[in-house]
Amino acid sequence: MPAAPSSLSITLQIVSIVFYTFIAFICIGLPIAVIPGYVHEQLGFSAVVAGITIGSQYLATLLSRPMAGRMSDNVGTKRAIVLGLSGILLSGVLTLFATALQSLPNLSLGILIVGRVLLGVAQGLIGVGTISWCMGQVGAEHTARSISWNGIASYGAIAIGAPLGVVMVAQYGYNSLGIALAVLAGLGLVLIRKKPSVPVVRGERLPFWAVFGRIAPFGASLCLASIGYGTLTTFITLFYLSRGWTGAAWCLTVFGICFILSRLLFISSINRFGGFRAAIACMTLETLGLALLWLAPSPAIALVGAGLTGFGLSLVYPALGVEAIKQVPNSSRGAGLSAYAVFFDLALAIAGPLMGAVALNLGYSWIFFCAALLSVTGLGLTLLLMRRAY
């Protein structure tokens, strides 16, 4: 009987697959901080149009989730990732064309938005494909670890890509963005060619909306908890300004560090204590962090609140994901992952307008009170789901 693979061996297998997530999110991060400025300052469009240009990518990701899951289940995870990398390469070429046609603003903007839509579809394909490939490679019992490392790869890549994009544009101009995207995606396509894929799981394929219905209660809890993330990242700078404080960027740094540390140090707790218990503990920490931000009398307390929020939120996605994926057969695993991801996308989509309305009427500190209230609601829903399961 062969020896069971070691924890390090399993982690290395997962990392070798989520490497493609890392490439994809570097490509997503590179333009994220500079495209709004390009649209507004170089092309001469309003800030609203700049926001729509960035948002088109996220809308494309949200709308393409069912297709991404279906493709991962039907044609295989490797082919889904190859298609995603091909989409990024084409997005890079279109971005290069768009920046080269700066003297024709309307045409440049149109091409740029098409490139952003392709990037959004690619994000959906690669995000679902890599997690599903990891689960097929190392087993469904390592779902939490697969989701966690995929998250570390994506958040880490954006943290690297965003400032790198700013430096590139300052040194080499906007044309460097499209070239970088095409080169990175091309490198990924070369590296993935000889990597052995896992076979497509045979069996009943549930319709996406049937899968969605099974996943929805877990996704709703994830959405309620994740609005805190969207609130923090969107409004922390304006919250600091409203208080007359400086150093809002440090809140994002502390949040990110605590988020990644929590995933690295405590991911095994999900398998040890179960997804529900881990999610409940993490939502409690997140709620405490958001409440501290609401009541923070000083930047130091705000930093503690941001750290607790990041530390708590970190494991909510994989913890609830473990329980959600149990609701669908392995043959519909990709569809399950896609349906689950929709709720995280939804949280980010509604956090801005919802909390913007709260800030307009009550002030910026109250957005964190509302986010904490939603997190408590998610906690209550998770308790109900755990009671139903046991």
- The 10s digit of each residue's pLDDT in 318-374 is 999 989 988 888 777 777 888 888 898 888 778 878 888 888 888 889 999 999 999
> CA 288, CA 59: separation in Å to the nearest integer?
31
What pLDDT score does 3 carry? 54
> What is the per-residue pLDDT across 14-51, written as a single tens digit (0 to 9) for each?
889 999 999 998 998 888 778 877 888 888 887 677 76
Residue 342 CB contacts under 8 Å (≥ 6 apart), including other chains: 62, 65, 212, 219
Type of residue found at 171: Q
Average confidence score pLDDT of the chain: 86
> Higher model confidence: residue 127 or residue 221?
221
- The pLDDT of residue 2 is above 60: no
> CA 81, CA 20: separation in Å to the nearest integer?
8
Handedness of CA 60, 155, 69, 269 (dihedral sign): negative
> CA 55, CA 254: separation in Å to the nearest integer?
26
What pLDDT score does 211 carry? 85
> What is the per-residue pLDDT across 49-87, written as a single tens digit (0 to 9) for each?
776 787 788 788 888 888 887 888 777 788 899 999 999
- The pLDDT of residue 219 is above 90: yes
Beta strands in the chain, from DSSP E residues, in sequence order: none
> CA 376, CA 283: separation in Å to the nearest integer?
7
Q: How many helices (H) and strands (E) does the chain have?
A: 15, 0
pLDDT tier at 145 (50, 70, 90 boundaries)? confident
What pLDDT score does 1 carry? 44
Residue 184 CB contacts under 8 Å (≥ 6 apart), including other chains: 23, 26, 27, 88, 92
With a pLDDT cut of 70, the percent of the chain lying above it is: 96
